[in-house]
Chains A and B, each alone.
Chain A
């Protein structure tokens, strides 16, 4: 079983950041660092999930998260099955719990779930015998993304996030990545700034222990890290903001706006990017400031860590 400071990791599922204690997070990040080493990732000793079955259950289309879990599962020796539910029986009117019952009969050890409605993985977790891993649910959480972001930062900045000022910019309202990141970064001791137009900031968000800004210049002051969020194009056509042009003018990250942050500020993006909408290409592609490629690498390592820790915890309990 995985440990951190003497605290065993005993979680059954990975549904949200809020379910984890600080030592749980430490366990996952330490294990993630271990798996960052490619020679460890690909060695035979990493096959801790041999004989186990992982089902990727994606009710929403995804490329990188699904493939990242698939690679992570395979490198740990698990049998990985992809269920493209977006095109199958769900379309024929089957409910989520019907699907759950069908899958449960196949006895998977792990279920990686992405669903368009908040709380769907939590509902599934009550009805299946395996571990449920939330790969993004509605506007609720995307815990593995937050963990991979933290792992990425740890590689560059080191283990201590205390005093670090991190800005999360863009469509906070609809972003599950932002919700998970806000909680995790708060827990790790960082100061979080949220920046976005008022229509894309949730109600009473100041109660989340963050500072809210509506302009990049003041919001980015002193920030060491700038996390940009993807803005869905349909939200820029007059419903939430008037136009793509106006959005980029005020909230798109370019060299001028980045200059408001600390001089050595780093830039992150969960992908996929809208180049020229929320982020300019020259920043996204500048290896000196952009951590976007490292985020993808960390993604596989942290997912291996999560699968490993959950599997160990289950084996100990059963």
Chain B
């Protein structure tokens, strides 16, 4: 691959806190140098007016491969990711069959090699996600699984969770557990509030999240395991994470982009596209979560990409499946919050690049000499309207349909190759 220079970009790198107008020399799929006075090459990219940031690392992506390829294949998810400026995705184990052994980790990796972006795999914490039987965490790690997940439901049994955290600590494996108490969230489909009670929908209280976070923090403290609290949605849970971090407990915490941009009122008149898990909560929760990203309590922002066919969404609200696609909107929706002054640009970028890369021990997610040339060039001011039918993803269930967003990926580069281009 011939070298190329990205010229005149505003280069932002969360690792070095760099934020300046400069050029990037890309050679052999890596960043060779950042500065001025490089040669001119045939494939140089003029990035005047654009921001160059590390390609996004999305730690929570569900695809339908294997099992439900009609919703999303690994190939279609990769295309959607590239379109949205995401160059690394971590595929969740809730597939059919569940990614719970080495051969399946290997299968997904091989599928990923045929795509333009980097596909990483999260293994299941328990066999078939049954919540009881430990998987071969060591062997799957060795095969390349970057983290381990409980899937859509948490590990209910505290003893099982204790053993998982303590066993995985031996391999320094990252353990992601959903934050919801199963009994308090049983058969609920929304946030518990006067709004949802009025709609006649059974809600999950915020404390259902807090209780599980308290338990998992305590277990992480006891075992020394590396815990990722998988997608919080409430200020109650945020407060627990904040207190734990003050005590230097080694935990990390993620939030979905949806919960930073939307609240329960977006459900409006039973819009099933706004049915998510965890549910959209109060506006005060949304504002608290934004602040949590701002002060570093929340480490990572994920797309929570969860493609669903129309048949699962065009149902009465209680019967519809939760979930929304997000790969193509993670960057744009985040930049819109930045445009609204709700988030600082550097802080936001850190939560979608450097922080997830560091948690997963990956070399990308930064713009430094020698790092992989995974770069997104975006226009931070571009206004546009989301049209769900125009999404690259195979599914189009998004609560952002018809939303006005500010900011969009223009060029996505992975390993020095342009993998998506909108200009």
Contacts and interface: CB of A to CB of B under 8 A. Distances in A.
Contact of B200 (A97, A139, A204, A208): A139
| Size bin of chain A's contact surface | 20 to 34
Interface in A83-138: 95-97, 115, 117-120, 122-123, 137-138
Contacts of B317: 117-119
Interface string B296-320: 0000000000000001001111110
Contacts of B193: 203-204
B199 interface: yes
A16 to B, nearest CB: 9
A104 to B, nearest CB: 15
Q: Is chain A's binding surface mostly helix, strand, loop or mixed? A: mixed
A117 B320 CA distance: 11
Contacts of B205: 203
A244 to B, nearest CB: 23
A176 interface: yes
A122 B201 CA distance: 14
B194 A208 contact: yes
A115 to B, nearest CB: 7
Given A119-B269, A122-B270, A208 B315 contact: no
A117 B269 CA distance: 14
A140 B200 contact: yes
Given A95-B311, A96-B315, A97-B314, A118 B201 contact: yes
B416 interface: no
B131 to A, nearest CB: 24
A173 B269 CA distance: 20
Contacts of A138: 200-201, 316, 318
Interface string A224-242: 0000000000000000000
Q: Count chain A CB atoms within 10 A of each CB in B193, B205, B269, B311 and give the residue with the most.
A: B269
Interface residues of B, number: 20
A179 B317 CA distance: 18
Given A123-B270, A204-B194, A118 B200 contact: yes
Interface string B160-201: 000000000000000000000000000000001110011111
B123 interface: no
A173 B315 CA distance: 23
A146 to B, nearest CB: 14
A118 B316 contact: yes
A118 B197 contact: no
B203 interface: yes
B197 A119 contact: no
Interface centre among A123, A141, A207 (most CB of B within 10 A): A123
A122 B270 CA distance: 8
A117 B316 contact: yes
Nearest to A139: B200
Given A118-B318, A119-B269, A119-B317, A203 B197 contact: yes
A95 B315 contact: yes
Given A123-B270, A137-B200, A207 B194 contact: yes
Nearest to B270: A119
Interface in B275-328: 311, 314-319
Contact of A141 (B194, B200, B311, B318): B200
A157 interface: no
B172 to A, nearest CB: 42
A314 B41 CA distance: 68
Contacts of A202: 194, 197
Contact of B199 (A115, A119, A123, A208): A119
Nearest to A183: B198
Given A203-B193, A204-B194, A118 B314 contact: no
Nearest to B202: A139
Nearest to A201: B197
Given A97-B314, A117-B318, A207-B194, 14 more contacts: A95-B314, A117-B316, A118-B317, A119-B316, A122-B269, A122-B270, A123-B316, A138-B316, A139-B202, A141-B200, A173-B197, A176-B200, A203-B197, A208-B198
17 contacts: A96-B316, A119-B200, A119-B269, A119-B270, A119-B317, A119-B318, A123-B314, A138-B201, A138-B316, A140-B200, A179-B200, A202-B197, A203-B194, A203-B205, A207-B194, A208-B194, A208-B198
